[in-house]
Amino acid sequence: MNMKKKLFWIIPSLMLMLPCPGWLCAENTANYIAEGNQLANKKQYAEAIEQYQKVLKVNPKNNRATLLISLCYAESGDLDKGLSYAQLTAKNDPSYISFYNLGLIYSARKDSDKALEAFDQALAINSKSFDAAYQKGLVYTNLKQYDQAILFYQKALTLNPSFDKAHLALFGIFLDRGDRNSALAQIEEFRKMKKTAIAQALETRMKRPNTVS
């Protein structure tokens, strides 16, 4: 992408001295966010972060920019920096999305207790979030606390009965436990949703030997 198209031909030292009208600052930050999003979608995370950092130079308290920076760092594998910006975002903007993404980063870091706490905070703000309920289920699955995991997958499905990922997670737990009837019930749910290809794939999986100890 030719970044020269985005430049304004003003002497940098003079530009620092000029006041920034509110409308111009808002326009600049919107452009930086849009540019960063395009780069992030191409997985060019370092370049995207540069754009989001420009937003923070205009407005250091722009929580959208800190959130996006945290996600870019996390996606690029730098979970430490991702966590730092996610914590900052949650501190400055204690919203559902801030706590949800903080939970994702804690989960990726295998910090299960803090991940659960963050998802709890997200659910306290938005009790209808099937995504947060599902993420709690994943954390409990990783902890091998399967009964708790089942509860939260089921909660996610109560909130969104057609949520594929929760059905698949339940299928996996039931199959590993040898509970074929419950596993078949999840396959039946996919058939009811007319997702025949998924149902057939799960039936094929059930025919394989269970290698879980």
Measured over the CA atoms of residue 182, residue 184, residue 188 and residue 190, the dihedral's sign is positive
Q: Is residue 15 part of a domain?
A: no
58's tokens: 């205009």
The CATH number of residue 192's host domain is: 1.25.40.10
Q: Which of 135, 146, 145 is nearest to 172 (CA)?
A: 146
Task: Say what the pLDDT of residue 21 is.
Answer: 41
- Do 153 and 181 fall into the same domain? yes
Give the three-class secondary structure for 11.
coil
Determine the structural domain holding residue 174 and report its residue range: 128-213
Q: Judge contact between 92 and 66, C-beta under 8 A.
A: yes
Q: Which of 163, 170, 162 is nearest to 202 (CA)?
A: 170
First-to-last alpha carbon distance for the chain, in angstroms, is: 51
Q: What is the pLDDT of residues 39-97, one digit of tens each?
A: 999 999 999 999 999 999 988 989 999 999 999 999 999 999 999 999 999 999 999 99
Q: What is the pLDDT of residues 158-209, one digit of tens each?
A: 999 999 999 999 999 999 999 999 999 999 999 999 999 999 999 999 988 7
Of the residues 104, 123, 142, the one at which a domain ends: 123
Which strand (E) or helix (H) includes residue 103?
A: helix 96-108
Of the residues 68, 100, 123, the one at which a domain ends: 123
- Do 101 and 35 fall into the same domain? yes
- Do 38 and 114 fall into the same domain? yes
* Number of domains, the chain: 2
- Do 206 and 155 fall into the same domain? yes
Q: Is residue 3 part of a domain?
A: no
Non-local (6+) Cβ contacts of 107 within 8 A are 115, 135, 138, 139, 142
